[in-house]
Structure 1
């Protein structure tokens, strides 16, 4: 009986110790978990504090870039590295003009839609690759300048910028298409699409009702639309350095046109009806393989330099003389007895 009692006592003591050890182990595990959670929480708080501090520093830097000109609040950043714009910029939503040049900026932030007072968005000479759809929210925007970037696509939402008067997208190289909704820009007067990859003049551009100035130089244009005369308000048309082989007869019906640049194309002739374009003040046919070799008599005096003379040689007078010479030669061919 004594042996049994001792054995029972030992078993009880053992069970008690095992219970205590298990509880202690659980307590230690719980303490470790609490420490881990505190550490994680403290780390998150530290990161949050770091983010807030970085935003404050960035906002202070941006405020130093603000200036006022002609009563307009402008954000101007030039030749500094800003590949992206911080979200804290939204706190300066009262800015009316962005002038951000040569910063390496790669993306227009989606929060651009928060800048409802924006009149001018000038991001020329950066590395911007796309125009966000949110651009369509800027209904007060008058000028969008994105030349010398890397944009390949224009979203249809851009047509919602109903106040847009000036759009420059020169030298984006791979840009070759515009959405048909582009024709809805009823106030667009100035459009620069030079040095891109357009093979034709988009119909949505021809349909712009008040367009006055168009530069399509340095593209891959092979022909012009027959209904080009629909551009009734156009004053200046720049088509230099393309692949045009002929001009449509209806170009002579562009009554408002006073400047026409056609140098460095593949033109073989000049439409005779262009002789009636009384408003045309400047036209340039230089470096085209024209069929006829026509030379104006020299008018140079001692007070005139060569550049002025060069412009004269390929201007309106040259065009008129070429048309007259072409008409004369055609008459001679048709009436050989009059020779």
Structure 2
């Protein structure tokens, strides 16, 4: 039996083996049943076949007389060999190919060409003739350059060339004007082409793990860019023009040589800045005043000695990681940041806050800071957030700020001690077009029914620190929600209707009674942040987590997890994994302390193959 047949069991037509033939497939060939299926579907998948060369029958699939045409049966209505389609997808991934033939040009209808995980040292010129190609994956090969004829691919939208030996990107690549996703991470690229700004449709640019010392100023003209990942380079500074990226949502700059953050004046959509493991020594009001929409700021492993009071300008900040800096004091006004849910201070020489307070978590730290403020300081801070010149709506317990309603499109009805949300408040919120609502710190036992009139516009609901025992299925109506905060309630499960929240990016389940992460959570494919700490969760559902490939932050601290599956290491997209405070022995605390990448690498190394 051949080595290839030994590795793979007989899987019929999908596996490329003879069906009911009593013989084995010859190495380096493709059985006619596979080609037959490809002619019908337009898709030919030859991944993981041990191929060292592409069989000739692949290049001539649209020219050769098919095997089934040699025996014609007019009675067989299912075997219409003449009823074929052109090949649109060719998958040759995970083989041992060292080159591709120029005959690739015969497959002019291709929209997808996937040859990742091979041994390619070059690409044929014929690639440039595939005018319908939309996705090209050449990652994990031995390419030293991307040929200029890739720039001729007028319809190319995705180019993946990570894990090669590229030292530069040719200017011709900038001619692929429809490109939306470009991944050239894990190469040896020292600079980006000046005219990269011509990629005006590019939404995601991943140049992490390269040798970049600087970025071209023209990058500021890439109007569509939403995600920039420059992690693990040699960037000592960033061009001021980076601040012109109005649609930028994620800026990843970990492991560089930055001494300061750029002034991101016009990045009004920016939600996430990951700038850990640099040499940033300080932040100023000029840096912070433009970052009001940022929800996650990671400045761990830098050289910060002080956090300025202007940090409160980050009105949407939810997570602030200051791990391993030189901070000894915190500004008291930090305690007034109602949106801040996670403050990480490990590895700082804190003198102004006792360690036992720090160990109790973010809420206790914030309470302590506020308790140290004088009445005048608290009043002054309140005036900054809610000026006295702005009127109030309602009276007594029903009073709400008209400034918040009409200017911020936010209803803050927290800490009112109510068990029912007054209709007058909901009506005022509806009239103002409110998008976010805060009902925390009340006595609510369920999600108020009268909120349904706000469902078409609501993007955030905070109903934490109440007495909810269940979430009503009518939560499905809130299909615009980006954030749902259910912390500190009495929940043990979530309704299946939560799956309707298809754009939900953040879910907070902290401090409830969950014994497992509800199954419906794993259907939320757009989820980026999941806080499930301080529950009774006893297992890590890796199968479910593998479905959440946008998940960047996962907090499972202080649960009852007795074992961490090594397969969790395959969730390489996680940027922040928090597991401390559980009963498992491995990974050891020393490994967890090294951070998420080290933890994932350790887990992956323990997978038994």
Q: TM-score, normalised by structure 2?
A: 0.39
281-290 or 71-80: which moved more?
A: 71-80
Matched, 1:124 2:185: yes
1:232 to 285, 292, 295: 292
Query: How far, CA to CA, are the matches of 1:288 and 1:158 in structure 2?
Result: 35
Mark the CA change 1:327 to 1:187 in structure 2 (over 3 Å): closer, same or farther: closer
Mark the CA change 1:293 to 1:136 in structure 2 (over 3 Å): closer, same or farther: closer
Displacement of 1:89 in angstroms is 2.7
Displacement of 1:294 in angstroms is 1.6
More helix by share: 1
Matched, 1:140 2:201: yes
RMSD over aligned CA atoms reads 2.8
Mark the CA change 1:293 to 1:232 in structure 2 (over 3 Å): closer, same or farther: closer
Asked if the contact 2:160–2:183 (Cα under 8 Å) also holds between the matched residues in 1, the reply is yes
1:57 to 101, 104, 120: 101
Cα shift readout 1:83-102 (whole Å, capped 9, x = no counterpart): 11223334434221111111
Aligned length: 255
Q: Secondary structure at the match of 1:78?
A: coil
Q: Which residue of 2 aligns with 1:218?
A: 277
Query: How far, CA to CA, are the matches of 1:73 and 1:64 in structure 2?
Result: 5
Which blocks of at least 5 consecutive residues in structure 1 are unaligned? 1-54, 298-311, 329-339
Mark the CA change 1:201 to 1:252 in structure 2 (over 3 Å): closer, same or farther: same
Q: Secondary structure at the match of 1:283?
A: strand
Q: Secondary structure at the match of 2:279?
A: coil
Cα shift readout 1:281-320 (whole Å, capped 9, x = no counterpart): 11101110011452448xxxxxxxxxxxxxx826313423
Asked if the contact 2:322–2:345 (Cα under 8 Å) also holds between the matched residues in 1, the reply is yes
Query: How far, CA to CA, are the matches of 1:207 and 1:322 in structure 2?
Result: 35
Asked if the contact 1:207–1:231 (Cα under 8 Å) also holds between the matched residues in 2, the reply is no
Q: Which residue of 2 aligns with 1:313?
A: 359
Which blocks of at least 5 consecutive residues in structure 2 are unaligned? 1-98, 115-131, 375-609
Matched, 1:175 2:235: yes
Q: Which residue of 1 aligns with 2:91?
A: none
Higher relative contact order (CA 8 A, sep 6+): 1
Matches within 5 A, 1:57-96: 57=101, 60=104, 66-67=113-114, 73-96=134-157
Displacement of 1:206 in angstroms is 5.1
Query: How far, CA to CA, are the matches of 2:268 and 2:194 in structure 1?
Result: 24
Matched, 1:249 2:309: yes
Query: How far, CA to CA, are the matches of 1:324 and 1:89 in structure 2?
Result: 58
Asked if the contact 1:72–1:97 (Cα under 8 Å) also holds between the matched residues in 2, the reply is no
- Higher gyration radius (CA): 1
Query: How far, CA to CA, are the matches of 1:282 and 1:114 in structure 2?
Result: 43
Query: How far, CA to CA, are the matches of 1:231 and 1:178 in structure 2?
Result: 17
Cα shift readout 1:143-168 (whole Å, capped 9, x = no counterpart): 11101100111111111211111111
Displacement of 1:59 in angstroms is 7.8
Displacement of 1:193 in angstroms is 1.1
Matched, 1:157 2:204: no
Mark the CA change 1:64 to 1:136 in structure 2 (over 3 Å): closer, same or farther: closer
Q: Secondary structure at the match of 2:134?
A: strand
Asked if the contact 2:252–2:273 (Cα under 8 Å) also holds between the matched residues in 1, the reply is yes
Q: Which residue of 2 aligns with 1:9?
A: none
Mark the CA change 1:90 to 1:207 in structure 2 (over 3 Å): closer, same or farther: closer
Asked if the contact 1:246–1:269 (Cα under 8 Å) also holds between the matched residues in 2, the reply is yes
Q: Which residue of 2 aligns with 1:185?
A: 245
Displacement of 1:77 in angstroms is 1.5
Asked if the contact 1:292–1:322 (Cα under 8 Å) also holds between the matched residues in 2, the reply is no
127-136 or 316-325: which moved more?
A: 316-325
Query: How far, CA to CA, are the matches of 1:111 and 1:200 in structure 2?
Result: 33
Asked if the contact 2:298–2:320 (Cα under 8 Å) also holds between the matched residues in 1, the reply is yes
Asked if the contact 2:258–2:280 (Cα under 8 Å) also holds between the matched residues in 1, the reply is yes
Asked if the contact 1:201–1:221 (Cα under 8 Å) also holds between the matched residues in 2, the reply is yes
Query: How far, CA to CA, are the matches of 1:179 and 1:97 in structure 2?
Result: 26
Query: How far, CA to CA, are the matches of 2:249 and 2:103 in structure 1?
Result: 36
